[in-house]
Amino acid sequence: MKNKTKNITLKANAKLYEKFRKYCKERGLIISRQFEIFMENQLKNGERV
């Protein structure tokens, strides 16, 4: 069975977001998946930002 997804709303610095969006687009990456990977790593490593 496939994992359910959830739509979320985030606030981010506009310039930073545009740079990251461009970075992902150039590399064929999906922004939401990059955020998921970040969350997975944070939980796995117990890091605090």
Question: Domain-by-domain residue ranges, the chain?
Answer: 14-45
H-only helix segments in the chain? 14-27, 31-45
- Mean residue pLDDT across the chain: 92
- The ranges of the chain with pLDDT < 50 are none
3-state SS class at 30: coil
Query: What does pTM read for this prediction?
Result: 0.76
Residue 49 and residue 40: Cα distance in Å, rounded? 14
Residue 17 and residue 34: Cα distance in Å, rounded? 13
